[in-house]
Amino acid sequence: MKKHNFYAGPSILPQYTIDKVAEGVKNFAGTGLSVMEVSHRGKEFVAVMEEAVSLFKELLEIPAGYEVLFLGGGASLQFAMIPMNIMQKKAAYLNTGEWASKAIKEGKFFGEVVEVASSKDRNFCYVPKNYEIPDDADYFHITTNNTIFGTQLRKDLDVSVPLVADMSSDIFSRPVDVSKYGIIYGGAQKNLAPAGVTFVIIKEDILGKVDRPIPTMLNYKTHISKGSMFNTPPVLPVFAAVQTLNWLKDNGGLKAMEKRNIEKAGMLYDEIDRNRLFKTTVNDVEDRSLMNICFVMNDEYKELESEFMEFAKSRGMIGIAGHRSVGGFRASTYNALPKESVEALVSVMKEFESDK
């Protein structure tokens, strides 16, 4: 039976990526050695790192004045590195969920944090609007996609201070106007590569403005000056990322990905809205994530939740359990998830409904 992978992260990767990585693990770049056992300073891997940077810049149309870094520590380390490097006195944050809340917590170690708005009052089921950002904030931080609660900021914001965005779970899912951002960052394990590498796109002119001393390994300038090679980078995830980036390029780039993602998510949301057994946790259509679709049983059918879960698993649906903060179900429809998997889940939902 075919398995349909809806895990939220680590999550589905293109089969192209898996196949190319498998080849590289056995014989990397014709060296007769595995990519896991060659020097990161050898010409073969240096070429991989250069290609990763080049493809990032090409696919996202990154303008001059920005650097692309590949670091360790996950997005969670960036929650601290960002304020350490660019918060002089004050920063503004939009609180849209668990990861935004964690970023806020780390920011408070380095200065004043202004939470301009929060959707915590309704368990993060919407994206706040009509808030004010202090003009004297050193930056404004957003989390563009909320993997746990299923909301997403699907447009680039226009703000008067440097914009910092955690795009861990929706990077490369749509075109982005990078020029509107000071920093874009994220863990790779949801839409790009295996866990272990973190990407950081950073506008160089926002650096060097803080008074505090910054430890060498936590200073962006360190990694910029060494081309992400100050210490040994996570070679296997970087190699995998290159394969995914090439797959994205070969499949039409980000405009094509956005079109496919809108189609896939639309199919599933339409079924949730139609099916008498289910309801979405995000009512405002413009706030609904195209990457993580969260839904629950309608109140009168709550007792069927575990039965549907087992039914879906028996039909090959993997990883659709909702986060414990929300319950119910979550279907992650990242770039690599084929349309056929969404069609299969919709069929399962219809079949289950017809039996009840």
Which positions are catalytic? Answer: 99, 166, 190
Contacts of 101 (CB under 8 A, 6+ apart): 95, 120
Asked if omega into 83 is within 30° of 0 (cis), the reply is no
Amino acid in the structure at residue 321: A
Q: For residue 52, count other CB atoms closer than 10 A to its CB.
A: 23
Contacts of 219 (CB under 8 A, 6+ apart): 85
Amino acid in the structure at residue 89: K
Name the residue among 210, 216, 168, 212 with its Cα closest to residue 193: 168
Burial of residue 213, with CB atoms counted within 10 A of its CB: 0-12 exposed, 13-18 middle, 19 or more buried: exposed
3-class DSSP state of 166: strand
Q: CA-to-CA distance for 79 and 68, rounded, in angstroms?
A: 17
Amino acid in the structure at residue 95: N
